[in-house]
Chain A
């Protein structure tokens, strides 16, 4: 350990912040851009790195020691690393866990994603808390400070990007044809754990691209339709919103995260960008139906504006930290959705019952 033998990396943020640290993952003159967001979960970095909802974002973990238990590919939420870049205080070079197959450094190298370590992540987190999520550039190798800072400002914001198309299936894919029920998932960048939760409940799952038409979906004659999570600003995903408008009421419908936002937009409600979002595994959600509080896993930068929801839609769950909408249900039609991630991975399993409610809805339709 000599200190300076490692490759340098730097992070430039649109407010003019420029910090230097050490590179890992893709160290060869790499350059990535995106919205810098923080996640407060203390475990689950493998799941987060491979979560397609992080497309277009540079992910920073608030827990300072990352990589301790290595990487087990069984924990992947998609086919690879989906974040644009990774920011940590200290990366573990020698992980220790019986399931570990490689280190985070090796994982990021495999997918060509750069990372930076050795910086004051808490200071950056506080900045984001105060000023909101910011655009940033992460570069490794031979970088130019001024160029980075300029680009941090000039790059398009997340509300100007179409990200869903990059992370969803291109053609319909069916998993488990033998299931008792058939569910079509509109894939906006699904986390595999969502599909796994359905499969566990003896459901046949067909993933279709986000821009698959309502007609084609109905042709498949599903028992239910499910809208997945995904990256970016929901209001940009116009095809899916249009499709959902046609599906509402015709088939049991549920959604998670971006899916929840898209359903809300299809109901003519509005969404808005949160200051810095909810990303972590400790968010308290109050469920009005049971009066209970559940600890949920969350990853979203946008939320549904409660005031804009139509009268026949009821808010079933809220976030106790800031009162934002966490769940809604149509009073007449078979439709409900949640903002958080009931499939967990990473995070608590408190809300697995969401999938049971979905099945219940399918059965009773």
Chain B
């Protein structure tokens, strides 16, 4: 039986050799991968090139909150967040309809943008420092919000500090959920949290009275209340318990795409400040205001070539989607869910050309040059 022993030994030798070879290969595979990640932060193909080749922009968003993201009577995606996505599509592809909306729950937002499977995340995402570090790059605050509580009027509650013993419904995976926990804990109020994945179910549970209180960003509460059968029966309590700056997010690791989306958002705010809207783009482009002509690409440049866009991309954006004010009015303002804007934080800081006569708002774009 010596040959058996020999066979075993031989097989072991072959096996060891193969394993060593595999290890060597793995090490060889691994080394460049790590080096790549450390040395060149940009991926091999830029996201811009990928989007242009694909022919549409993929945005992660929602369709369950009127004003931000919902479906109109024709089944078309509409809303403030959706319009920001359309603006990016118009800038990159010249077509605001070239979008694909991926519907995700609040809790899916982090993993979705981390994985880079979507180009832009625009789903009422609150900007927080840890999300900015872990999820992706925050572009700009496009809406300033704060968290509030909605209760049924007949409970006679006048303040959030009277909510002891209440059952509170909230959507999971949101800053709202964490702020609620902090608020009740800090004020030593007993409460019973009920956490749902979908905003629709939260609304059902609130409407049927399983929970006494619905907590969310105030503007979303207002939007959802407007869709209830008797909006007058519900009251949003005066306390705002948190800061919720909302804005789009892009995946980490592609500086060009980050800058591009940032410029598009700056452009629509700039356009409002300088009075450029979807009705007067051509006239303004031919006019004599240098800043406006720079915005519309008829004179000078503010770095379009570095972003890989044509000079006149903002004309496409404003022609098809409008400036910030038009997007606001259409979705959140008088034509949408009617949130007041003037005098609030979401008004412009100032109207050009008078950049030093403040209107008091916080919506502001960096200079384009």
The answer to whether A and B belong to the same complex is no
Binding site for A on B (CB under 8 A): none
Binding site for B on A (CB under 8 A): none
